Chain A
Amino acid sequence: MSIVEHLPALQVAVPLLAAPLCAMMIRPSIAWPFAVLASWITFAISVALMDQVLTHGTIVYNMGGWSPPWGISYVIDPLNALLLLLVSGMAAIIMPGVRLGIGVEVTFRAQRLFFTVALLSLTGMLGIVITGDAFNLYVFLEISSLSSYALVAMGADRRASKAAFNYLIQGTIGATFILIGIGLVYMMTGTLNMADMADRLTDLHGSATIQAAFAFILVGAGIKFAMFPAHAWMPNAYTYAPSLVSAFFGATATKVGAYILIRFIYNVFGAEFAFDEMHVGWVLIPLGLAGAFVGSLVAIWQDDLKRMLAYSSVAQIGYVAAAIGLGNHDGLIAAIVHVFNHGLMKGALFLVMACVILRLGKADMTSFRGLGKRMPVTMGCFVVAGLSMIGVPFTVGFISKWYLILGALDAGMWPVAVLIVMSSLLSIIYIWRVVEVAYFSDPPDDVKVQEAPAMLLVPTLILTVLCIAFGVATKITVGVAGLAATSLGVYP
């Protein structure tokens, strides 16, 4: 028994065990390096897992040696591996900057608890992605959700508590819907193991219970995914949460919702049931496109830039939803790649907000005046990540939109392709507003502002460089997404 065999368990166990240890460390100066170390180890494990999946194929790990369907198994295929890489990678990049970022927003006493809850949230998300057991997925979903509510509530603004409360109510309703769905499937199949479920569900097409289960899971995952029109919790939660929490959630939390949707639609229920019997495409594509337009339009009018980014997320999630709904190979690649790419760019943009808030105390349009000269590197990152959000060639945003349009054309839905391009044009407006203020208006004379400290700037730079790197070298993301789509049974 070498340690390599147990990497799937360690992937979740390392942050889970690190969390309570962090709570015991009274001084944040000790808890912080510890949390950073834990997130780096977690990231290293997910890199190793990705390597194993690419060389040996899907890994099935039986927890405690109990074979499925009795025991809980962890299943890692290319889709899981990519999501694990995204979630743990984001944690590894953002965690070092957290100490400075939360210094202005979270009290000294609460900081060690901040690290504890952040690690728990990481554990939950990794668990959702890695597990092959439906009920286990619900439990991890609640672990990540409960810690998310607590993290949002740690924002300095008093509205953070109210935002966290609303998030809690809606998040719990979403998770409970998923629980009902899983219960109904269990009622019909007698199993909780996803692979086993998928097997037994093929004989149950046409059953009203299964149809209801599918609807419950679709709505529940839609709420968690902040899919329009169930996105109401997100703008406030992202606006009032501490900036680094917004960066981490913006990059990962909704992506995990997308994962649940993809896994249940394509894997557990099967594309045939979802598309031919439930016509899920007719739900996801119109709602996705509506979300893309509404999100972008609302984003244009926002004065608070964190809120603007949150509405921009509503739009980007709309693209992912539409891509999932296309149901063909290119569409699914677009969904998976966009989940990954949007994580990179939204992470970078929220980190820019964290830098600005650290120096200026707030991130609204007036505080951005003349920042192009005063914080050149930070604003450079904003421009690059912003271009990526629009979908300019040689950025990650272009790659995912390219596959999305290919998918739409492949499905014979050219109006969808046109609408995607049109809504992308809207994102030019909200990114340009900020660029215009930052570069073409004079800074106020009375405020002295300098570049953000390296601890925050380096993570921002890393994510920005990745936005370009994965836009040029698409082999990794698109390659893995292609493998993932094939392993989900969607062939070109």
Chain B
Amino acid sequence: MSEVLTYITEHAVQWGAVILLMLGLYIVMTRGNLIKKVIGLNIFQTAVFLLYISIGYVLDGAAPIVLEGAERYSNPLPHVLILTAIVVSVATTSLALALIVRIQEAYGSIEEDEILEHGET
């Protein structure tokens, strides 16, 4: 039992990321409301950001700027990568929201079942 516990606590960040990942994916798949789908997508992407940021952590590592007396530094590269990914995620979200506005104008609803109901024309 204790082995399982240590396994989980040692990989706490990864477990957190996986749980968020699954939550996000579940929301995207099950919710009919388009805004909620976008929120789910955001949670899904954020989980990946967390995973990436955790890669950059080095045990006892200082912030990656030149410091007096620091011997080890955290790896800044994953953080920089994630800055890019965050920008992508913002762009995706804004485009999704713009599309939702257009769907609302065209169908008068953002609920998937209602769109499908009178949507075949």
- A interface with B by C-beta (< 8 Å): 135, 138-139, 142, 146, 149-150, 153, 158-159, 161-162, 164-165, 168-169, 172-173, 176, 179-180, 183, 186-187, 192
Residues of B close to A180: CB separation below 8 A:
48, 51
| Contact, CB under 8 Å: B28 / A173 | yes
The answer to whether the Cβ of B73 comes within 8 Å of any Cβ in the partner chain is no
* Known contacts A142-B88, A172-B45, A179-B48, then 19 further A-B pairs from the complex at CB < 8 Å, ordered by chain A residue: A138-B85, A146-B95, A150-B95, A153-B99, A159-B119, A161-B99, A161-B106, A162-B107, A165-B96, A168-B92, A168-B99, A169-B28, A169-B41, A169-B96, A172-B92, A173-B25, A183-B55, A186-B55, A187-B55
Given known A161-B102, A162-B119, A168-B99, contact A139–B84 (CB-CB < 8 A): yes
Residues of B close to A162: CB separation below 8 A:
103, 107, 115, 119
Residues of B close to A158: CB separation below 8 A:
106-107
| Contact, CB under 8 Å: B106 / A139 | no
| Contact, CB under 8 Å: A186 / B99 | no
B52's nearest neighbour on chain A, judged by CB, is: A183
Within the complex, the shortest CB–CB distance from B116 to chain A, in Å, comes to: 9
- B interface with A by C-beta (< 8 Å): 25, 28, 34, 37, 41, 44-45, 48, 51-52, 55, 77-78, 81, 84-85, 88, 91-92, 95-96, 99-100, 102-103, 106-107, 115, 119
Residues of A close to B102: CB separation below 8 A:
153, 161
Bound complex: CA A210 to CA B27 (Å): 28
| Contact, CB under 8 Å: B95 / A168 | yes
Bound complex: CA A173 to CA B96 (Å): 13
Within the complex, the shortest CB–CB distance from B57 to chain A, in Å, comes to: 11
Instruction: Find the residue from B37, B84, B92, B96 having the highest chain A CB count within 10 A.
Output: B92
A165's nearest neighbour on chain B, judged by CB, is: B99
| Contact, CB under 8 Å: B48 / A165 | no
Bound complex: CA A161 to CA B51 (Å): 32
Bound complex: CA A288 to CA B42 (Å): 31
Bound complex: CA A226 to CA B119 (Å): 24
B110's nearest neighbour on chain A, judged by CB, is: A165
Bound complex: CA A187 to CA B53 (Å): 11
Within the complex, the shortest CB–CB distance from B88 to chain A, in Å, comes to: 5
| Contact, CB under 8 Å: A161 / B103 | yes
Residues of B close to A150: CB separation below 8 A:
95
Residues of A close to B100: CB separation below 8 A:
165
| Contact, CB under 8 Å: A146 / B91 | yes
Residues of A close to B88: CB separation below 8 A:
139, 142, 146
Residues of B close to A164: CB separation below 8 A:
99
